[in-house]
C-alpha cells in the first residue's frame, strides 16, 4: 500500500471511527423519533431521507425540513446531532492538521514525490550521493550544461538549500542515507536513463558501500567515487570502480607538475576547470627548499612529489605521531613566527599551509608573508564558506579539495577520453603545451573551454557516417565546415582514437573514419550545435562539399533531369 495512504489511515483511524459513530447516532435518532404530518398522523423518516438530510446538513447546504415539517422532538434531536457532528469534525480536522505537521508524514510525502519525479524522468541523468561543497558544485555544473541530476543526502538542511537554489531545471532530491540500497533504487539506480552514480559524501565507508551496491545491482552503470585515503582508493579499485578521485594525491601531482612543467600544468587546469568560468592564470612555483606546515594526507603527497624532483623540504607538524621520519621536522602549528624561523623561513622559496583548519592556514600564511615577502605560498582551503577570506589573503595558489573533486568528476563525466589525453600529454614538453594553449585561447574568449567527445557512429553522428560512405573527409574539412556554418564554431581537436590507438592534436590533414572517436574543445555550448550538425545530412554535405544533393526520390528524379551545375543551394 502507498506509504502516505497507509500512514494517513493509521493515524486517522480513531477520528474516522468518531465521525462514523456520530453520524450513525444522528441517523439512528432520526429513524426512530416520529414526526407528525398535516393530518396529525405520526410518520418516520426512511433511510434514504435520513442519508439525504445528513448529507446536506453536513455540507451546510441546508435545504430545510424534508420530506415533511419536523416535530419538536425531531428538531431537538437535529440540534443535538449538529453539535455532535461539529465536535466530531473539529476532532478529525485537528488530527489531520497534526498529521500534516508530523515529520514522518512529511517525509513520506516527500519520498513519494521524489520517487514519482524519478520515475517520470525523460532525460538522461546522474545520481549524486552527497550534497556538500563538492556535490553542490557538481550539480550546479551539470545543470549549467543542460544535464539532469538526482540528489541523495543525509542532511535535511542541505536538501533545503538545494530547493532554495535558483537552478534552471528541477533537481529531485531526497533526505536519506545513500549507502542504503533501497534509497539508491528509489533514486533511479535501475532507471533506463540513469547514466551513472557519483559518490561524493564526506564518509569514505559510505562511498565505498555505494560503489559496491552499484556494481552488484547494476554492474554496467559507471560509478565515480571520492576517496580520502589510499587504502579506500585501493579497495574501490579492486572491484572495478570506474573512476576514483583522491584530492590530496591529485593536488600533490598537480603541484609537482607545476614545478617542473608550468605549461602542462596550465593545460590541465584549463581543460579540467568548470566551463564558462575565467581561465586560470599561469603559476610558476619556484624550485628550492619548501616548508610544509601540516604533514597529513596533503603534506605527504606534496613531499613525495617534491622528493621526486630532488627538492628539499622542512616539515612542521603539531601531532608528534605524524612527524616526518625521512627529513627535518619541527613540532608546532606553524602559526608562530618562532617555529617558522627555526624551519628556515628566511631562506625558503615556498610554503604550504596545508592543515585541516582554515584559521591556522590563514594565520600561517600571514605570518610567513611578514617574515619573507618573496615566499611562494600555497594555502589549503577546507570550507567553501571561507572562499572570500582566502581570496583576500591572496596566496599564490589555493588548494580547494571540494573544487578539485568536482572538476575531476565533471571532466570524467563530460569526456571520458580527457583523462587519457591528460595522461598522454605528460609525455610531451612545455613547448608543445604552450602551442596548444595558444590555439585554445584563440577560440575560447578568455573562458574555460568545454571539452566534448564525438563518436563517429550511426548513433552519435549519422550524417557524418553517411557522408563518409560517399567520400573521404579530413578533420580540417569537417572543422572548416562547422566554422562556415557559424563563425563562433571554432574548436580545437585534442585527440583522435582509432582502434585503441591515440593521436594527440591531430592536424587538418588527418582523415576521419567510421568508428573513430574525436576529443574536441571550444567555447561552451558549441558542443550541442556541433552534435546537431553531425545529425543533419543535408547541411553537413553542403558545408563540406558545397553540393546540395536532394534526398527525396522526387527531388532526386528532378535533379537528374536538370542540367549539370544547376542544383540549388540551401538558400
pLDDT value at residue 556: 59
Helix count (H) and strand count (E) of the chain? 24, 20
Task: Give the separation between CA 189 and CA 467, rounded to whole angstroms.
Answer: 38
> Look-up: residue for cell 630532488?
310
Query: Residue 438 and residue 204: Cα distance in Å, rounded?
Result: 40
pLDDT at 496: 94
How confident is the model at residue 485, as a pLDDT?
64
What gap in Å lies between CA 165 and CA 131, rounded to an integer?
Answer: 12
Burial class for 467, CB neighbours closer than 10 Å (0-12, 13-18, 19+): buried
pLDDT in tens, the chain (571 residues): 577 888 888 888 999 999 999 999 999 999 999 888 888 888 888 999 999 988 888 877 667 787 888 888 999 999 999 999 999 999 999 999 998 888 888 888 888 889 999 999 999 999 999 998 889 989 988 887 778 999 999 998 999 889 888 888 889 999 999 999 999 999 999 999 999 999 999 899 999 999 999 999 999 999 999 888 888 888 888 888 888 888 888 888 888 899 889 999 999 889 888 777 888 888 889 999 999 999 888 888 899 889 888 999 999 988 878 777 788 888 888 888 999 999 999 999 999 999 989 999 999 999 999 999 999 999 999 888 888 999 899 999 988 888 888 888 887 887 778 888 988 999 999 999 999 999 998 888 788 888 888 999 998 899 899 889 888 889 988 888 777 666 666 789 999 999 989 999 999 999 999 999 999 998 877 887 788 888 888 888 888 877 666 666 665 566 555 544 444 443 3
Q: CA-to-CA distance for 365 and 13, rounded, in angstroms?
A: 65
Angle of helix 133-144 versus helix 156-164 axis, rounded to 10:
30
The CA distance from 3 to 477, in Å, is 59
pLDDT score recorded for residue 487? 61
Amino acid at each position: 500500500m502507498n506509504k502516505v495512504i497507509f500512514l494517513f489511515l493509521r493515524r486517522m483511524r480513531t477520528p474516522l471511527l468518531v465521525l462514523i459513530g456520530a453520524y450513525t447516532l444522528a441517523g439512528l435518532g432520526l429513524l426512530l423519533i416520529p414526526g407528525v404530518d398535516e393530518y396529525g398522523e405520526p410518520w418516520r423518516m426512511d433511510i434514504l431521507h435520513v442519508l439525504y438530510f445528513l448529507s446536506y446538513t453536513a455540507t451546510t447546504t441546508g435545504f430545510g425540513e424534508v420530506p415533511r415539517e419536523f416535530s419538536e422532538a425531531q428538531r431537538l434531536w437535529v440540534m443535538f446531532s449538529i453539535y455532535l457532528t461539529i465536535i466530531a469534525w473539529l476532532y478529525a480536522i485537528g488530527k489531520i492538521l497534526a498529521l500534516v505537521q508530523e515529520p514522518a508524514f512529511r517525509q513520506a510525502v516527500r519520498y513519494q514525490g521524489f520517487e514519482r519525479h524519478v520515475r517520470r524522468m525523460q532525460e538522461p541523468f546522474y545520481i549524486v550521493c552527497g550534497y556538500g561543497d563538492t556535490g553542490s558544485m557538481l550539480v550546479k555544473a551539470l545543470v549549467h550544461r543542460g544535464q539532469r541530476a538526482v540528489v541523495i543526502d543525509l542532511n535535511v538542511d542541505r536538501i533545503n538549500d538545494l530547493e532554495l537554489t535558483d537552478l534552471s531545471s528541477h533537481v529531485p532530491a531526497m533526505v536519506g542515507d545513500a549507502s542504503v540500497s533501497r534509497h539508491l533504487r528509489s533514486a533511479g539506480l535501475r532507471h533506463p536513463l540513469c547514466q551513472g552514480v557519483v559518490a561524493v559524501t564526506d564518509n569514505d565507508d559510505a562511498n565505498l558501500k555505494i560503489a559496491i551496491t552499484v556494481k552488484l545491482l547494476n554492474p554496467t552503470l559507471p560509478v565515480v567515487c571520492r576517496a580520502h585515503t589510499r587504502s579506500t582508493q585501493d579497495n574501490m579499485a579492486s572491484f572495478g570502480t570506474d573512476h576514483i578521485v583522491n584530492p590530496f594525491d591529485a593536488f600533490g601531482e598537480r603541484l609537482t607538475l607545476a614545478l617542473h612543467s608550468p605549461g602542462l600544468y596550465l593545460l590541465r587546469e584549463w581543460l579540467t576547470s568548470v566551463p564558462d568560468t575565467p581561465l586560470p592564470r599561469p603559476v610558476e612555483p619556484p624550485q628550492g627548499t619548501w616548508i610544509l606546515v601540516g604533514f597529513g594526507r596533503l603534506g605527504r603527497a606534496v613531499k613525495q612529489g617534491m622528493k621526486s624532483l630532488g627538492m628539499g623540504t622542512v616539515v612542521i607538524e603539531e601531532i608528534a605521531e605524524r612527524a616526518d621520519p625521512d627529513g627535518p621536522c619541527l613540532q608546532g602549528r606553524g602559526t608562530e613566527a618562532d617555529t617558522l624561523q627555526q624551519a628556515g623561513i628566511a631562506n625558503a622559496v615556498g610554503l604550504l599551509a596545508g592543515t585541516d583548519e582554515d584559521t591556522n592556514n590563514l594565520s600561517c600564511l600571514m605570518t610567513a608573508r611578514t617574515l619573507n615577502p618573496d615566499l611562494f605560498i600555497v594555502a589549503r582551503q577546507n570550507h567553501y564558506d571561507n572562499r572570500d577570506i582566502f581570496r583576500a589573503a591572496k596566496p599564490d595558489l589555493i588548494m580547494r579539495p571540494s573544487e578539485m573533486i568536482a572538476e575531476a568528476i565533471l571532466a570524467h563525466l563530460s569526456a571520458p577520453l580527457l583523462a587519457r589525453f591528460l595522461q598522454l600529454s605528460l609525455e610531451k614538453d612545455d613547448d608543445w603545451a604552450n602551442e596548444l594553449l595558444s590555439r585554445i585561447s584563440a577560440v575560447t574568449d578568455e573562458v574555460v573551454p568545454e571539452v566534448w567527445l564525438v563518436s563517429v557512429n550511426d548513433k552519435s553522428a549519422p550524417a557524418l557516417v553517411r557522408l563518409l560512405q560517399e567520400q573521404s573527409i579530413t578533420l580540417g574539412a569537417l572543422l572548416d565546415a562547422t566554422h562556415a556554418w557559424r563563425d563562433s564554431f571554432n574548436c580545437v581537436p585534442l585527440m583522435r582514437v582509432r582502434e585503441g590507438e591515440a593521436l594527440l592534436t591531430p592536424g587538418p590533414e588527418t582523415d576521419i573514419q567510421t568508428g573513430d572517436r574525436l576529443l574536441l574543445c571550444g567555447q561552451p555550448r558549441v558542443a550541442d550545435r556541433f552534435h546537431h550538425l553531425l545529425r543533419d545530412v543535408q547541411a553537413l554535405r553542403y558545408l563540406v562539399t558545397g553540393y546540395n544533393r536532394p534526398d527525396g526520390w522526387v527531388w532526386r528524379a528532378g535533379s537528374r533531369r536538370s542540367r549539370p551545375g544547376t542544383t540549388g543551394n540551401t538558400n
